Amino acid sequence: MTPPLFALPDGALPADLVDDRLLLERALRTGGRIAMNAFGKAPVTWDKGGDNPVTEVDIAIDTVLRDHLLHARPGYGWLSEESVAHLSERARPRIWVVDPIDGTRAFVDGRPEFTISVALVEAGRPVIAQVFNPATGEFFEAVAGHGCRLNGIPCRVGEGADPLAARLLVSRRELHERRWGSGLDGSAVIALGSIAYKLALVAAGRFDAAVSLRPKADWDLAAADLIVAEAGGRMTDAEGRDLLYARPDTTEHPSLIAANPALHAALIGRLAVDAAGSPAPAGVQPQP
């Protein structure tokens, strides 16, 4: 078996988190092999509605992850894009929040911009997170309070605070729609697939920020949220509200901004200015 990449001495973590971390990595690497066996081979694909594709590979990876993780931890809850569990599972103390392929459209198109993204959530916040891009071999991992690593090497968000000098990641759809109006004018805006991958690349300091003004689900964000936080970044919705996961009432979040704290604050300020350049009223965001 590939040795674990998270280079912390076992004594630095509670024993149960050590075990959960290793269990999760084994599951993700198994899922990664399934993904790569099908990558570039036109998998069977259908639409779940709303131009939201899913493939036979999403379902296969979801099944493998569920079998691995819940067989070993039957007392944990389960919340996945492809097999949303009963609401009662969200009341369990610890919950696996899973996206078996984040960036399914990129996967179908043969672009190496998809990830397998899983977080272990406790009291609404992730305590373990792993985001794996099997096409590039990038394995991002974080444990709450213990930093994050990319392929075993500690990573950190960038330090730039000027939005005009920033390189921002968005989805291809949002680059076309430009919902942010003039709020990102002057910034270099770059389209990329998986939202979890975009956020992990921000955590690694390769890009300055990720922005989305479209709704996202728990499974899109939970793992990357911890990775960004442990890299010294800040991730909230576009109004600056912290994100909570596996809530009893909803799995949806209206938007997100992730960057280092100074750039994060600057981007929120810019997006709160309407197209005419006047500050929006307190608590009111410009309409898309």
Residue 89: burial class (beta carbons within 10 Å; 0-12, 13-18, 19+): middle
In order of 9, 63, 69, the CA distances from 15 in angstroms are: 11, 27, 17
The pLDDT, as a whole number, for residue 13 is: 74
In three-state form (DSSP H/G/I as H, E/B as E, the rest C), the secondary structure along the chain is CCCCCCCCCHHHCCHHHHHHHHHHHHHHHHHHHHHHHHCCCCCCEEECCCCCEEEHHHHHHHHHHHHHHHHHCCCCEEEECCCCCCHHHHHCCEEEEEEEEECHHHHHHCCCCCEEEEEEEECCEEEEEEEEECCCCEEEEEECCCCEEECCEECCCCCCCCHHHCEEEECHHHHHHCCCCCCCCCCEEEECCCHHHHHHHHHCCCCCEEEECCCEEHHHHHHHHHHHHHCCCEEECCCCCCCCCCCCCCCEECCEEEECHHHHHHHHHHHCECCCCCECCCCCCCCC
pTM above 0.85, yes or no: yes
Question: Is position 25 annotated in a ligand binding site?
Answer: no
- Is 102 assigned to a binding site? yes
- Enumerate domains of the chain plus CATH numbers: 10-154 (3.30.540.10), 163-271 (3.40.190.80)
Q: What is the pLDDT of residue 219?
A: 97
* One-letter amino acid for residue 267 of the chain: L
Nearest CA-CA partner of 214 in 45, 85, 51, 46 = 51
Give pLDDT, residue 87. 66
95: how many CB neighbours lie within 10 A of its CB?
A: 24
Is 81 annotated for ligand binding? yes
State yes or no: 101 annotated in a binding site: yes
Residues of the chain with pLDDT under 70: 1-11, 84-88, 273-288
pLDDT of residue 171: 94
Q: What mean pLDDT value characterizes the chain?
A: 89
